[in-house]
Structure 1
């Protein structure tokens, strides 16, 4: 289980996230910056949900006997979503910070692909159907603008066709590496890249996930299976906080002046070293 220091520092990282995001409130923002803030907020919600599940076990009344259940499966699933939120930010924004043309290209792919997925939905209310109709008009304009982007214009004809096919499928982000590959590219230690696939196993109900459910019949056992994903959350949170500051000077200033900046740096560096630093070798 997490010790008192771990729990305290988990909450501290959450407070730093609130501080840096609050620092940019009221400022004019571009579409890019609004989306960065939205992804950051999504990560924060996953981050806080995971620790809430851990610190507030579910009480189950079984014939008058109260059993406490720490839902480590949900912690792992939520942690996976948190990681993918950061990696989306990394792929679109952080990795392209010196290449604005690539950033606009990936950003447009991200927006268009989701919109195409949305308009494929059927059997919805009249109000939603009206929104879908308006979305189609918006998509047409966005796709027209997308085709004028310099990176798209430079693609070979067959690559343009493949790119548009991916976008219009509403599923596949064109030329986006796998999540595991993105973790490697973001500088995260290979051990944690492997651990990500373990979290995916829980999301997809792999046999390992069911075996560990069977093995964790006690509250201490459930807490033990929760420890590593929560520590991964702390590592990704620290990396995201530092990445967020690259796009907002006032957020970066807030981080540098924050009394807990050293804790952010510690966990960010931990994710870039090896598993010995977690004491789990």
Structure 2
């Protein structure tokens, strides 16, 4: 049952997740649905809560599972594959937060938020509904999508899409015109790092051969923990990025970060930008 743990990584995770919770809570005290504020402000807050919970769950799964049966002993395995799944979800969550606010001007931010929201309503409007409540929700989603579509069409930014992309967008594909690699670069992640990490995480989500092989070969807690803690490093890096991103958005969150002492230094250390990782991917001479 004994295995080597990455105690410093776990310590930094604990400090950063506490900082993240404090930053989100500080902003929550300002939540006023009646205020004349951009819609993206509340989407960022909701996405931040979602991200926080994913990260907490990933850390929980890094502990040996308490499940037991007649054939499976308690604390007999670490579900590193699910840590990978939650790491990918956390990565996508943060990239969406960044994408919604990137571009440098309010008109683009508003347009992207409208596209993201429209496609969400569009997707819900296509779900099967077998109860009166579900049918009411589906109709409301269809109505909301119908109200947003003319706003999207009238934006000059809509003309940047090709005719085929406009049709895909109309059907509810908000990923039209970009790839996750594009969002990662916009968010300041190193391209080679992302294109090496993301497909591997996705392999666990989609049950690729390599993901299944890894589950079959990692039979000891030591190996399972080693794999899971590798994914946790990605999450800690995302925490560093999040702290910078969220502090730039909301003064209360920024105030928390400014007074975080050692934890602020740890957040800065893990806010790894593309230029910070260039040395790892230089071609061999």
TM-score range, shorter chain: 0.7 to 0.9
In structure 2, how many angstroms separate the alpha carbons of the residues matched to 1:33 and 1:253?
A: 17
Taking a change above 3 Å as real, the CA distance of residues 184 and 194 of structure 1, as seen in their structure-2 partners, is farther
Distance 1:162 1:62 in 2: 56
Q: Which moved more, 1:252-261 or 1:105-114?
A: 252-261
Q: Determine the structure 2 residue equivalent to 1:5.
A: 8
CA distance in 2, matches of 1:110, 1:118: 13
Q: Contact (CA 8 Å) 2:84, 2:201: kept in 1 or not?
A: yes
Which of 19, 23, 26 is matched with 1:23 structurally? 26
Q: Cα distance 1:247–1:3, how it changes in 2: closer, same or farther (>3 A)?
A: same
Q: Does 1:61 align with 2:59?
A: no
TM-score (norm 1): 0.88
Q: Aligned residue for 2:250?
A: 248
Pairwise CA distance, 1:172: 4.1
Q: Is the 8 A contact 1:166 1:173 kept in 2?
A: no
User: Which stretch shifts more, 247-256 or 141-150?
Assistant: 141-150
Contact 1:20 1:252 (8 Å CA) reproduced: yes
Gaps of 5+ in 2: 281-285
**SS at structure 2 position matched to 1:61:** coil
Alignment of 1:1-281 (within 5 A): 2-27=5-30, 28=32, 29-63=37-71, 65-66=73-74, 68-93=76-101, 95-96=102-103, 98-152=104-158, 155=159, 159=162, 161-175=163-177, 177-189=178-190, 190-259=192-261, 260-269=263-272, 273-274=276-277
For 2:207 and 2:114, locate their aligned partners in 1 and report how far apart those are by CA, in whole Å: 33
Question: Does structure 1 retain, via aligned residues, the 8 Å contact 2:62–2:83?
Answer: yes
Q: Cα deviation per residue 1:176-196 (whole Å; 9 max; x = unaligned)? A: x21133223322232244111
Q: Secondary structure at the match of 2:276?
A: coil
Normalised TM-score (structure 2): 0.87
Q: Tell me the CA shift for residue 92 of structure 1.
A: 1.1
Deviates most, 52-61 or 231-240: 52-61
**Contact 2:84 2:231 survives alignment (8 Å):** yes
Which whole-Å deviations, capped at 9, do the CAs of 1:112-168 have from their partners, x for residues lacking one? 01111110112432111012112222222212222333423xx17x83x44542233
Q: What's the RMSD between the two structures over aligned residues?
A: 2.3
| CA distance in 2: counterparts of 1:66 and 1:24, whole angstroms | 40
- Return the alpha-carbon distance in structure 2 between the equivalents of residues 123 and 79 of structure 1: 32
Native 8 Å contact 2:88 2:198 kept in 1: yes
Distance 1:263 1:116 in 2: 41
Distance 1:218 1:230, change over 3 A: same
Distance in 2, matches of 1:193 and 1:91, equals: 17
